Amino acid sequence: MKILVPVKRVIDYNVKPRVKSDGSGVDLANVKMSMNPFDEIAVEEALRLKEAGKAEEVIAVSIGPAKAQETLRTALAMGADRAILVETDEAVEPLAVAKILKAIAADEEPGIVMLGKQAIDDDSNQTGQMLAALMERPQGTFASKVEIDGDGVSVTREVDGGLETVKLTLPAIVTTDLRLNEPRYASLPNIMKAKKKPLDTKTPADYGVDVAPRLTTTNVSEPPVRQAGEIVEDVDALVAKLKALGAI
């Protein structure tokens, strides 16, 4: 069985994004980029399933600029077998991503498409669900545990009321949550080996997908500065203050 793992190149989670002076978007110049943390968890889980003998091949795929090769090389250094870059300089929206992944899945025929539940840059949390709908495949989202049993996969998922376990028939779509695992670090020898692993480059046109944006960003701004708190003497003063502010 193959496992297809989409990975996205995003601003590193340790970096505080800066808004462009004209408010048109986030400034990416000279900013450290890395693999989306949720996707890193998906790569780790796919590798663990392979190491357990449940899968034969792990394929990483990314959709983005040429520099996304760095993200794919990270996945290869972690242990993925090969990678596919769908190169485009356009800002690709979740629906277009799902359409491209559907086309890739039709070629590769993976048993599982395992992807992060969301990307930390736009927090859309849509691609996995859209892909499942387009492919007409069962889906297990927000996975905190994944177990393959024969021709099915059990996914323990996090919901508002606690945990829910669903049994899916393969092939299936699984999106990963933070508590699923702790991703491994790529060792220096594996980083060197990753340079020799196959990485194919495609374009959205190769899959017949139009990535023209359907949404328009009108303005991007910094969140308002949080005002300093105020200490009150007792409950009566607190209630009076809340009333003065119109909170109650």
Supply the pLDDT for residue 30. 84
Q: 98 lies in a domain?
A: yes
Report yes or no: 37 and 13 within 8 Å, Cβ to Cβ.
yes
Rg of the chain's alpha carbons, rounded to an integer?
21
Cα of first residue to Cα of last residue in the chain, in angstroms, is 58
Q: 221 lies in a domain?
A: no
Spell out the residues 6+ positions from residue 69 whose beta carbon is closer than 8 angstroms to its own. Answer: 85, 199
Q: Is the CA virtual torsion 124, 223, 23, 15 positive or negative?
A: negative
Residue 27 exposed, middle or buried by CB count within 10 Å (0-12, 13-18, 19+): middle
Q: 153 lies in a domain?
A: yes
- Find the CATH number of the domain harbouring 46: 3.40.50.620
Report yes or no: 139 and 132 within 8 Å, Cβ to Cβ.
yes
Number of domains in the chain: 1
Q: 224 lies in a domain?
A: no
Kind and range of the H or E element at 152? strand 152-159
Q: 236 lies in a domain?
A: no
Give pLDDT tens digits along the chain (248 positions).
999 999 999 999 998 888 888 888 888 888 899 999 999 999 999 999 999 999 999 999 999 999 999 999 999 999 999 999 999 998 899 999 999 999 999 999 999 999 999 999 989 999 999 999 999 999 999 999 999 988 999 999 988 888 999 999 999 999 999 999 999 998 899 999 999 999 999 999 999 999 998 888 888 888 888 888 888 889 999 999 899 888 88
Q: 238 lies in a domain?
A: no
Whether a cis peptide bond, with omega within 30° of 0, leads into 171 is yes
pTM for the full predicted model: 0.86
* Pairing of β 152-159 and β 162-169: antiparallel
State the DSSP string of 59-103: EEEEEE-TTHHHHHHHHHHHT-SEEEEEE-SS---HHHHHHHHHH
Structural domain for 200, as ranges: 2-215
Q: 76 lies in a domain?
A: yes
Report helix angle 37-51 to 68-78, nearest 10: 30
Kind and range of the H or E element at 58? strand 57-64
Q: Reduce the DSSP state of residue 46 to 3 states and report it.
A: helix
Q: 195 lies in a domain?
A: yes
| φ, ψ of residue 129 in degrees (nearest 5) | -65, -40
8: Cα within 13 Å, side-chain hemisphere: 28
